Amino acid sequence: MIDILQLPLGPIETNCYIVACQETMMAAVIDPAWDGRAIAATADERGYEISHILLTHSHFDHVGGLADVKAETAVSIYIHPEAIPMLNVATQAANRWQMNIPEPPEPDEMLSDNQTLKVGNITLKVLYTPGHAPGHVAFYLPDYNVVFSGDALFRQGIGRTDLPGGDMPTLLASIRDRLLILPDETQVFSGHGPATTIGDEKRGNPWLQG
């Protein structure tokens, strides 16, 4: 069985997720958005051992807690290589918005499209979904009909494409070719806001009609 904890953190209420395998009690942190010590403590309270830190992309609001989760757990940070340049300037990006985040540590492992990862007994598949930010990926759990869509797809919305490296046609192609092809009942856990399903977004998302 799987346990998914949604933790909206930081000034932009960015969703950090703890995804735990209840058979092995191993867990991944997806997007340690802010307040890394609280993320690690939340996993700890439930008896979960963090085994992976996974990044959908490297906008500063998704990595504000990265340094502290790494310090607390010493486990590997996984990122798509195209997202590294932005990770390296995340502190400066935060400063431009009058915010401070601890300097992100160096990532450890590179993600590639269609790669699979094991968190305990849970299989996660990497879906390369650029357009909102360079090197953006989603994490798909085929055995559980769940996808973590980062900032590519939201309930009734899509990611902004006006930031550096953003591109609307690329984002729409990522959503159409990689996310909307998943089964309708797939639950979508986004980087901001409430969860939805692939079927609901296919039918009702105003950005994806026609």
User: Is 151 or 201 the residue whose CB approaches Zn ion more closely?
Assistant: 151
| Residue of 68, 72, 151, 201 that binds Zn ion (CB under 5 A) | 151
Give the range of 1-9, 81-89, 143-151, 198-206 binding Zn ion by CB under 5 A: 143-151
End-to-end CA distance of the chain: 38
Question: What CA dihedral angle connects 160, 164, 170 and 172, to 10 degrees?
Answer: 0
What is the size of the binding site for Zn ion (CB under 5 A)? 3
Choose the stretch contacting Zn ion; rule: CB under 5 A; options: 36-44, 56-64, 91-99, 119-127.
Answer: 56-64
Distance CA 81, CA 13 (A): 26
Task: Provide the sign of the torsion angle of the four alpha carbons 90, 10, 96, 57, taken in this order.
Answer: positive
**By rule CB under 5 A, what string of x and - marks binding of each residue 2-41 to Zn ion?**
----------------------------------------
Phi-psi region of 131 (alpha: psi -120 to 50; beta: other; left: phi over 0): left
What span, in angstroms and rounded, lies between the C-alpha atoms of 88 and 48?
29
Compute the least distance from the CB of residue 66 to Zn ion, in Å.
14
Q: Length of the chain, please?
A: 210
Interstrand relation of 116-119 and 122-128 (parallel, antiparallel or unpaired): antiparallel
Smallest separation (angstroms) from Zn ion to the CB of 28: 18
Instruction: Tell me the per-residue interface mask from 58 to 87 with Zn ion, x by CB under 5 A, - otherwise.
Output: -x----------------------------
Q: Which of 19, 191, 197, 208 binds Zn ion (CB under 5 A)?
A: 191
CB of 203 to Zn ion, least distance (A): 24
Neighbouring-strand partners of residue 153: 158
DSSP secondary structure letter of residue 103: P
The minimum distance between CB 80 and Zn ion, in angstroms, equals: 13
Catalog residues that contact Zn ion under the rule CB under 5 A: 59, 151, 191
